Chains A and B, each alone.
Chain A
Amino acid sequence: MLGSGYGVLALGFALTLRAAGAVNFAHGDVATMAAYGGVVAAAFGATGVMAITAAAFLGGVLGLIVAIITWAPLRRRPVEATFIAAIALGIVAQNSLTVGFGGAPRALPAIVDGGWHIAGVYLSAHGALSLVVAIAAFIGVATLLLRTRTGLRLRAAAEDPEIAAAHGLPVIGLAIFAFLLAGALAGLAGAILSNQHYVTPTVGAIYILKAYIAATAAGWGRILPTALVAVGIALFETIGAALVSQAAAEGALYLAFLALLAFRPEGLAGDIQGRRV
């Protein structure tokens, strides 16, 4: 389930990276805020499915807000301006959540309760369903990008915004749509992770670090490889913790990442040319 959550989160992160050239460091905080939206919905009696849907919807709205505040006015500035603005917005979000909800961890209700013991391993029904949701999200985004007119336009605008604009494509609108979709994916990821792993105001900082590592390791701007690498990161952490220890697994992850940067800086699937930040 950790892999499902990381994968969906990284999918959204890579989407805004590719479509708008934006390193959205507020993406993890969007996931967190959306998860809290799900917590509020649950407090009003929403079931697991309703709370997760509310979180995804709120995530989309928050993605839109991030685009309007941090990307649209700064898109012609150096790329660092956008991600510093996103970091600042993320800090505002974290502190707002702390003031509003306090520091106590919260949990969303499960999509469905129960689970199974299989060969000594426990698989929760919520975790299994989260995997199905994550796979559906991957297929959905892949279909959108590769098989639809909107996806074609998104890719065209991402490849060369000036030429795309010259051909009459609404480049800004397409980028904002990418932020909205990425925000919805972040909300979904936040909700998936918050049932079993809880949500606190600052957890977004951990999520965005994993997403950033996945995006860099996969190849800057590669959307589906980023999602798959994020799943791989979760597996690496779990297997490493089982073989050695939690602390060693985390250290090994960052060492592996450094080694990858040293020997294959373009990432496993190669960079989209000239886009790395």
Chain B
Amino acid sequence: MRRAYLTICVLFLSLSAPAAPVLADQVVVPVLAPITGFLALEGGAQRNGAILAAEHASKRHNIKFQADVQDTTTAPDVAVSALKRTLKNGKPPGVLGPILGSQMLALLPIADQEGLPILTISGTAKLTELGSVNVFRFFPGDSVVKAAHALFATEQVGMKRPAILFQTTAYGQSGRSVLVENLNRLGVTPVYEEGLSPASKDLSAAIAKAASAGADGLLLHLHAGPTALVIRQAHELGLNLPIVAGSAMHQPTTAALLEPAMLKGVCAESGSAPAAEVDGPGKAFADSYRARFNTEPDAFALAEYDAVGMFAKAYAAGSNSAATMRAWLSKNPYQGIAMSYVSNGKGDMAHSAVIVCYDGVSHNARVARRFKDGAWVN
């Protein structure tokens, strides 16, 4: 009895002890990301990019930035709950939003209602077409990457009768329509198009129908798993068609699913390709990322890294409220690792893209072309 009483007293005292004080210059950077669910790969990259950026920004600006990551899974209502939880602790200067377009679309009305800047790496075109002054997109939107996608496919690869396989998600449908617009502008009409569910496993029928329609190449706008499935199944069908895929194919984890020989003739668009960089700040970032997380970086991680980097710079420059943060992001350029960012007045900050290609001998991609403001720069 006496021992129990003493134990209870000790517990009470230890729980009553004051918590470690929050540093006066500690800045919480709320990060909403789909860590679980079918976008866990991209959400994980987003999380890692934010964490690394916060650590580097802390050293650079001598302010303790702390990335506070919340899982939004893949449902819009979960993202909304996560944002509301963030707001309960007081309105931060800004929030890093989830990569999933459908979640971002659900968050925008709340961001507008609260006057809260929301930085995102979602590529869904509609985000910056709704007239919100609070959205800042750090991944090149469909209007940039799909222009590069279409131009490379027609001009460099020589496709005149492409087939398009796209995801039936908001990401897929949005990208597909912008891709078709760009192709039409170049005088090319797809000979076949099909929407594929992310859950579909046997895609050989769609591939065979594309070939039967007389396609001279495949344009893919799919998530990572389906992209690898199409490339594998196209190879197994013996189709020797060039493939220009969406940004999922630049990810080293997607390439790792395929034999190098299956990657011959495969290229992909992306905002950047840090794992393919051989020198400069891109390689330095890739090396830091590998050392910190023991995995290869991708464009999503780098875009999030740059977004947090710009947020931190704005904060260090005195933008410590939502209104001042929004004003700073809207008016100032930022030289990130992937590219330079500046708002076009609608919230699109990123205006560059790259095309990476595989040599069919290894899993390593190389940057084939760089694209900026509607034209090749190399």
**Interface of A with B (CB < 8 Å)?**
2, 94-95, 98, 102-107, 115, 117, 122, 124, 193, 196-198, 200-202, 206, 234, 237-238, 241-242, 245-247, 250
Contacts and interface: CB of A to CB of B under 8 A. Distances in A.
Contacts, number: 94
Interface stretch (B114-122, B202-210, B266-274, B312-320): B202-210
Interface string B40-58: 1111100000000000000
Interface residues of B, number: 39
B224 interface: yes
Given A2-B201, A246-B205, 14 more contacts: A2-B202, A94-B36, A103-B38, A104-B253, A105-B41, A105-B228, A105-B253, A115-B236, A122-B238, A206-B199, A234-B202, A245-B195, A247-B196, A250-B200
Given A94-B36, A98-B40, A241 B228 contact: no
Interface centre among B195, B205, B257 (most CB of A within 10 A): B205
Contact of B295 (A94, A102, A196, A201): A102
Contact of B195 (A2, A95, A247): A247
A105 B224 contact: yes
Contacts of B160: none
Nearest to B39: A103
Interface centre among B197, B225, B256 (most CB of A within 10 A): B225
B238 A247 contact: no
B197 A98 contact: no
Interface in B1-52: 35-44
A247 B197 contact: yes
Interface in B184-233: 194-197, 199-206, 208-209, 224-225, 228-229, 232
B36 A237 contact: no
A95 B44 CA distance: 13
Contacts of B201: 2, 193, 197
Contact of A117 (B194, B197, B238): B238
Given A197-B229, A241-B205, A246-B194, A104 B36 contact: no
Nearest to A5: B201
Nearest to B227: A105
Interface string B243-255: 0000000010110
Nearest to B236: A122
B195 A246 contact: yes
Contacts of B39: 103
B257 A107 contact: yes
Interface centre among B202, B224, B238 (most CB of A within 10 A): B202
B205 to A, nearest CB: 4
Contacts of B224: 104-105
Contacts of B295: 102
B70 to A, nearest CB: 14
